[in-house]
Amino acid sequence: MRSLVVVALAAVATLLAVPGTASAAPTTVGYDVSYPQCGTALPRDRAFAVVGINRGLSTRANPCLAAQLTWAWGSSGAVPAHPRAQVYLNTANPGQALNQVTTWPVRGMTPYGACNGTNSAACSWQYGWERAQNSVVSFFTPAAHAAQVDSRPSRYLWWLDVETTNTWQTGTPNALARNRAALEGMTAYLVSRGGRVGLYSTGQQWSQIVGAVPAGSTLAGRDSWLAGATSLAGVQAACSKPALVPGGRVTLSQYVQNGLDRAQSCP
């Protein structure tokens, strides 16, 4: 994702695009791309692809989203467990800096009660709902229409990108609980549109941002995509690590090879 993607892709992508360089058998490797890859030739040989909806922040759109969605749908689908075209959303919870946040909600009924514009679990949940809604309605849907690919959220697996490079609440267990509420709000919106939701992070970053997730949370049972591996051996080891949430499974592991963010399916 943004903090883990290596931008210098041109030389490798050009090599992969040369006719005859692809392997005889379809690859089982997937790739994730977003705004840093705008204008870059992308690999032709891929089993699946994950495209970033946002440009680093949940309030901004990836400017080449339509082109990358077209590319994603051209994946081979060689790994049946993973849809050819998947997407991810940037996440955050800036509630500790309300005077600097123009998108913080002021009303809404949530599983945590009524949001009244304060830095609360209720407003954190509502913030997550509204940011996911905006990403789907204002960014994803127009881009999918422009690309002439399926625009139904229910046809996609939606990964929530949880990284320390974005703005999160810190300092107390209640702050972590509010961060969790924001992710639950995003999940709730996506599920309301029929989308499947997974979680992308590292164990360390997840612990720092979210902490423990109770079994009753809507995050429990979600698939995990673990980042941070630096080799194929590291990817295989990551597949054996605990999932980010109780009841979940590690289904993908990410590593960088030759300047490309690759995603490997876990057994």
CA–CA separation, 39 vs 107, rounded Å? 40
Place of tokens 């994946």: 75
Residue 57: predicted pLDDT: 92
Query: Both tokens of residue 142?
Result: 């127009």
What pLDDT, on the 0 to 100 scale, is given for residue 26?
72
- Can you give the pTM of this predicted structure? 0.89
pLDDT, residue 13, reads 35
Domain definitions of the chain by residue range: 10-265
Residues 39-43: contacts with CB within 8 Å, 24+ apart? 39/64, 40/9, 40/10, 40/13, 41/10, 41/13, 41/14, 41/17, 42/9, 42/13, 42/68, 42/71, 43/13, 43/16, 43/17, 43/260
| Res 232: pLDDT | 79
The predicted structure's pLDDT at residue 1: 58
User: In this structure, how many other beta carbons lie within 10 angstroms of the beta carbon of residue 159?
Assistant: 28
pLDDT of residue 259: 72
Report the chain (267 residues): mean pLDDT per 10 consecutive residues.
Answer: 37 35 68 93 94 95 98 96 96 93 96 97 98 98 98 98 96 97 98 98 97 96 94 87 97 85 90
Which CATH topology does 10-265 take?
A: TIM Barrel (3.20.20)
